[in-house]
Each structure stands twice: as C-alpha cells, then as structure tokens.
C-alpha cells in the first residue's frame, strides 16, 4: 500500500508529465514538418529546370495543405471522423473528381493539372491516415535497450511519426525520380 507521501509524489510526477507533454508534442510536430518540407524539396529538386515549374510549386503547396489537414484530422483522434475522411477521399477522387474533370470544358492541359494536383492531395492524405492507423494497431511492446521507446510513445506521438515516415518515403522516392527523369530525358 502506498503512503500519502508516495501518492502525492506520483500525482506531482503525473501533473508535470501532462504539463510537459504538449510542448514536447508541438516540438516533435514542428521537427517532423520541417523534415517533411525538406523531403519535399529533395523530391522536387530534380524538377527545378523543368518547363512545368508552376505545377511543381502547386504540388508543394498541395502537400503542405495535406499535412495541415492531416494534423487537424489526426488531433481530433475520433475514429469515425478518420473513417469518414478516408471514405470521402476514395469516393470523391476515384469517382467524382476524375469524372467531372474529364467531362469539363477545360483544355487538356488544365485537366491534367487538376488531376495531378488532386491525386497528390488525396493520395498523400490517405497514406498519412493509413500510416497513423497502422501506428495505433501496433501491439504492446517495450524496447529493452531504449526504455522510453514503447507502444504508448508511438501512440502519443503518432501524428509526428506519420509525417516523419512520409518524409522518409519522399526521400527514398527522390532517388527513384532522378533515375526516372534520366531515363525519359527530362
């Protein structure tokens, strides 16, 4: 049985843990967003001299907007909202957006731009939501060598972790894009 002093100390530790959680979460979120933006520039740098520079700038803006929407949806942490957003993404993009753009009176180039920008938005948002869901499905674990690395830490910092994972995916893709651009002579 705990003494009154031990319970008081435990309450104080829990209180300070809660007080310091938000600044640590915001700091890790800021670091992950900076890492993500750097990965975007690494991903888009081979396309700098390309004739479609405006499209590349649009893709970067769309990706930053995607991160902001993901952070908002992720911090709500309400499963039904996440499922609703994922369902809207699938239906809106795969059915309606592509159909509307194809039958619109836009010229072919404008249609292509809309399809490219919307696919970047919807696919990146869906990947972020899927990675976040995966993190929440990680079974209980405790790393023996790194004592603070456990399933609770991953779940508490799932949003920055998801953004960081996507940043690493972008970095890996940047090397494939360079090879692809060399192969098609752009």
Mean pLDDT confidence for 35-44? 88
Mean pLDDT score of the chain: 81
Structure tokens given for 5:
């002093």
User: What is the spatial distance between Cα 14 and Cα 12, in angstroms, rounded to a whole number?
Assistant: 5
Structure tokens given for 88:
């809207």
Structure tokens given for 39:
């990965």
Per-residue pLDDT at 67 exceeds 80: yes
Read off the pLDDT of residues 12-29 as tens digits, 9 standing for 90 and up.
Answer: 777 666 666 677 778 889
In which residue are the tokens 């499209």 written? 55
- How many CB atoms neighbour CB 25 within 10 A? 15
The 3-state secondary structure of the chain, one letter per residue: CCCHHHHHHHHHHHHHHHHHHHHHHHHHHHHHHHHHHHHHHHHHHHHCCCCCHHHHHHHHHHHHHHHHHHHHHHHHCCHHHHHHHHHHHHHHHHHHHHHHHHCCCCCHHHHHHHHHHHHHHHHHHHHHHHHHHHHHCCCCCECCCCCCCEHHHHHHCHHHHHHHHHHHHHHHHHHHHHHHHHHHCC
Task: Give pLDDT, residue 173.
Answer: 86
Per-residue pLDDT at 136 exceeds 70: yes
Mean pLDDT confidence for 63-75? 88
Task: Give pLDDT, residue 186.
Answer: 53
> What's the pLDDT band for 59 if we cut at 50, 70, 90?
confident
- How many CB atoms neighbour CB 70 within 10 A? 23
Mean pLDDT confidence for 28-46? 88
Q: Which residue has the higher pLDDT, 159 or 53?
A: 159
Read off the pLDDT of residues 76-120 as tens digits, 9 standing for 90 and up.
Answer: 767 788 788 888 888 877 777 777 777 777 777 777 777 788 888
Report percent pLDDT > 70 for the chain. Answer: 88
Task: Give pLDDT, residue 36.
Answer: 92
- How many CB atoms neighbour CB 58 within 10 A? 15
Does the model's pTM come out above 0.85? no
């Amino acid at each position: 049985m705990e003494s009154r002093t031990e319970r008081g100390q435990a309450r104080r530790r829990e209180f300070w843990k809660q007080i310091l959680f938000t600044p640590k979460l915001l700091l890790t979120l800021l670091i992950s967003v900076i890492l993500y933006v750097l990965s975007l520039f690494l991903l888009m740098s081979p396309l700098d001299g390309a004739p479609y520079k405006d499209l590349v700038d649009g893709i970067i803006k769309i990706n930053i907007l995607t991160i902001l929407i993901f952070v908002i949806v992720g911090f709500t942490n309400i499963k039904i909202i996440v499922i609703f957003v994922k369902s809207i993404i699938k239906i809106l993009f795969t059915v309606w957006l592509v159909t509307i753009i194809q039958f619109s009176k836009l010229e072919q180039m404008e249609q292509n731009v809309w399809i490219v920008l919307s696919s970047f938005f919807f696919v990146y948002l869906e990947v972020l939501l899927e990675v976040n869901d995966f993190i929440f499905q990680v079974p209980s674990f405790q790393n023996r060598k790194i004592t603070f690395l456990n399933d609770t830490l991953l779940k508490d910092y799932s949003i920055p972790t998801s953004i960081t994972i996507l940043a690493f995916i972008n970095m890996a893709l940047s090397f494939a894009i360079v090879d692809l651009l060399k192969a098609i002579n752009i």
